[in-house]
Copies of this chain bind each other. A is one copy, B any other.
């Protein structure tokens, strides 16, 4: 059941058809209208346009069904807990109404809430409150899940656990998530809604990864490499066939069962260039490449576009190094890839 919306938003209009499963990340600077968009989709805010989930009409010119009829789960930007109730009571709030039994224990365990389940919400710390609110949303039986900055105030370990849970939820239904963190975006997003000052873009992550809205924020670009996974039973290093005889070795984090193709994002800053293949280096991924284009980036840095045969790779190096290596279009060299992020 995919979510389709065609509605007015702050910066104009949004017309998108989100994937039926998987995570859609809504990204944009503070105050650009992310929460407002989420609230409109939920039905807490009215905006002209239409919204459908699968064959169900949430909103169109004639009809408007209330949030409670949309059968959704939401984690608001603030925790919105009932202060006088315990964490568990907050998590279970309203769950007796749904037909399915609530399986909250795996979720509370993963979010490290077990110790706190019987503590009153008002005595929880800020991060604990956010985790309870997230647990409430994730344990609710719902057709779609909306999470507004669900990982704020969490430390790295809890963040990872929460990301795992969100990915699990996204296996069976669409999940929309607002975040300001690029690492979260890369780790989770399959589909993006990018909200800028004058426009709102949406589409697969591959298509939008180097949109100015994103690159302005992080200051550099990403490349996305894709290819079938070739498992190596002898090691946890598996290979991705990038075509043109090149392979990329990664330790896959997500065992994308069923999908043979895997996608990897590479930060342009994590690519270094070398004229010869360094055989005695600890860098594992060294790929033959040809310079396609050189572009000045911010002060003292040069963006280099490389051709790996059948795919493109971007590198960001100092202009000092570019000079030293005498880079120019057509030059054959080797790209050393320091780090990769597997994306969906």
Query: Interface of A with B (CB < 8 Å)?
Result: 28-31, 34-36, 77-78, 116, 124-128, 131, 148-149, 152-158, 180, 182, 216-219, 235-237, 251, 269-270, 272-276, 278, 280-284, 299-300, 315, 317-318, 320-322, 324-325, 336, 338-339
Contact = CB atoms under 8 A, between A and B. Distances in A.
A338 B270 CA distance: 8
A158 B29 contact: yes
A149 B156 contact: no
A284 B153 contact: no
Given A269-B339, A275-B281, 17 more contacts: A29-B155, A30-B155, A31-B127, A34-B125, A77-B153, A126-B149, A127-B180, A156-B180, A237-B320, A272-B336, A274-B281, A281-B321, A281-B336, A282-B317, A282-B324, A283-B336, A284-B318
Nearest to A276: B280
Contacts of A126: 30, 35, 77-78, 148-149
19 contacts: A29-B155, A30-B127, A30-B153, A30-B154, A35-B125, A127-B180, A155-B217, A156-B180, A235-B320, A237-B300, A237-B318, A251-B300, A272-B282, A272-B336, A274-B281, A280-B325, A282-B318, A282-B325, A283-B336
Nearest to A182: B156
A187 to B, nearest CB: 14
A325 B282 CA distance: 7
A11 to B, nearest CB: 14
Nearest to A339: B269
Nearest to A218: B156
